[in-house]
Structure 1
């Protein structure tokens, strides 16, 4: 178990500046009871009794940065519709400095989940890819925001906002800003030169191929680090914890903590937010990984896209100290 993260490290996260660029979305939840099956088709009838809305995607990364004590600036594209208005309101409530570029022809990405007794019954997605004009605005706005940022996060959910990811990475690295990428899809070449990639186990297997043994995973990680000229690769591995692979240095593994997993949605957002703040605060790799693992563990114990606070991380550290005594 990595023990490099100490309680005195946590105040160093306060006020660190993270620029988040990527696919912002609205997560909407409808809650209700199921007491019968529809006579029209063999599907449950949900009597909706409540609803909730939360920031999703890149907006949830920014939300997690703020929850952990940092400052977040969000750069994304939305439509001009009701979902965009709700994102605006939630960003204001969370004190996130956002520059949302509007594409009138674009439906704002919306994920609608219907749940009964904490079980998800169905998810409905509303989405489309931004127009070229909106993406050009992203590049222009990025140049202005880069001066403010200490660390850049590219949150890629495959919705099209990061079509120019390679250009953004080049500009950020030229300005000596670390770039953390939460990747999506099969084309990792466009992330070439990033500081850190954070695929989950399934995502990395999709691009690197499956592995049966630890040494095979290590070999694949080393290959992709060299191929993409990336400094670090963090593979999140669910019940196996997470492993940080580093160019020219030994890998670091942080095991998962035994806990009840309620919902894994949004946990990756928490991981990249925690890592970004750790980079900005100049914590070492071991402390950064441990922070990300603790924060993600807190979030999977909550329903839906959620955040971990500094206070909650401190409480987890205290539990670890007690267990070691």
Structure 2
């Protein structure tokens, strides 16, 4: 899948897992006592998109905001060891987002978030960095987690379009106007419903998503729908729907990152959009079967895709 480098921009975070066992309830409060056994770290957010893209055989540059703290150093090490080219704006005023999850027998007991959103000045500096990187990247991925890195998202999209870059966005929140003009927007079904309102049936869903794509001047709108699979809405084409490739759902953490990474990597490698969506669908099915924020490899996807295609005979998306 190796192709042209993909520029990944957005909010990065450090995912920290504290694993242990629970043998008793605390005498101080009615809460379980986790007897700590080990810790492991993983790149999260935009950093997870970039790491997955490389694991899937692509090439990625990550432009992001980080603090000047231990979490930033740990995250930088993870990203660089994954083979990602890191271009970070470091700020002493920012706290690198860290999510600590206490886990027992693959069950999450508690999550602690440590964060301080980026300042306007830091976000502006990142935007300037991104604009300087655009000429070397045809494909741009914006991963929004509402931590401040994409405060200048409209400017990034505008500059990317002027450079003939194709921008794919994983959105957050209910203000999708900020993503207007992107080449592709990838909300999940819940995020889409928060913007357009609930729909009564499949026909209403298709109408709502078609209108949303047109309203935002998007070339493509890709909606991930959990057990209902993936739906693609494109200009001048009939909607296309693909059933889920997931065999079992263990943990949905980071699944959206995997979809975006597989999609961008496939497209940068020369695949058609329909084939790239199929590739991303299979990759997502593997991601949700793993515990925690996890990367999916190219070899895993190829094996799973062969099995998926055999089960469905011809896996082409249906209109």
TM-score relative to the length of structure 2: 0.95
Q: 2:270 aligns with which of 278, 282, 287?
A: 282
Q: Structure 2 matches for 1:114-125, cutoff 5 A?
A: 114-125=102-113
1:133 to 113, 121, 125: 121
Q: 2:63 aligns with which of 75, 80, 97?
A: 75
2:172 and 2:191 in contact (8 A); partners too: yes
SS in 1 for 2:146: coil
Q: Does 1:30 align with 2:18?
A: yes
In structure 1, C-alpha distance between the alignment counterparts of 2:107 and 2:263, rounded to whole Å: 30
Q: How large is the RMSD of aligned CA atoms in angstroms?
A: 1.2
Contact 2:246 2:284 in 1 (8 A): no
Q: C-alpha deviations, 1:77-107, integer Å up to 9, x for none?
A: 1111110010111112111101111110111
Contact 1:33 1:117 in 2 (8 A): yes
Structure-2 change in CA distance of 1:229 and 1:321 (3 Å): closer
Which residue in the other structure is 1:311 paired with?
299
Q: Which residue of 2 aligns with 1:235?
A: 223
| Post-superposition CA distance 1:205-248 (Å, at most 9, x none) | 00011112111111111111111101111110101111011122
Q: What is aligned with 2:211? A: 223
Contact between 1:103 and 1:131, CA under 8 Å: does it hold in 2?
Answer: no
Correspondence for 1:4: none
- Give the Å deviation of 1:317: 2.2
CA–CA separation in structure 2 for the residues paired with 1:100 and 1:238: 33
Is the partner of 2:149 in helix, strand or coil?
coil
Deviations 1:5-53 (A, max 9, x none): xxxxxxxx21431100000000000000011111111111100101100
The offset of 1:145, in angstroms, is 1.1
Q: What is the alpha-carbon distance in structure 2 between the residues aligned to residue 131 and residue 35 of structure 1?
A: 43
Aligned CA distance change for structure 1 residues 322 and 220 (closer, same or farther; 3 Å)? closer
Map residues 10-49 of structure 1 onto 2, 5 A cutoff.
13-49=1-37
Of residues 202, 205, 210, the one that matches 2:190 is 202
CA contact (8 A) 2:246 2:289 kept: no
Q: How big is the shift at 1:115? A: 0.4
1:115-194 maps to which residues of 2 (within 5 A)? 115-194=103-182
Aligned length: 313
1:6 aligns to what?
Answer: none
Unaligned runs of 5+ in 1: 1-12
The unaligned stretches of length 5 or more in structure 2 are: 314-319
Whole-angstrom CA distance in 1 between matches of 2:312 and 2:259: 25
Alignment of 1:261-272 (within 5 A): 261-272=249-260
SS in 2 for 1:126: strand
1:102 aligns with 2:108: no
Mapped contact 2:14–2:75 kept (Cα < 8 A):
yes
Selected match of 1:299 from 287, 297, 317 = 287
Aligned-partner Cα distance in 2 for 1:133–1:85: 22
Q: After TM superposition, give the deviation of residue 321 of structure 1 in Å.
A: 4.4
Residue aligning to 1:251? 239
Q: Which moved more, 1:272-281 or 1:43-52?
A: 272-281
Rounded to whole Å, the distance in 1 between the matches of 2:74 and 2:12 is 12
Matched ranges for 1:84-95 at <5 A: 84-95=72-83
Alpha-carbon distance in 2 for matches of 1:207, 1:217: 12
Q: What is the CA distance between 1:163 and its match in structure 2? A: 0.4
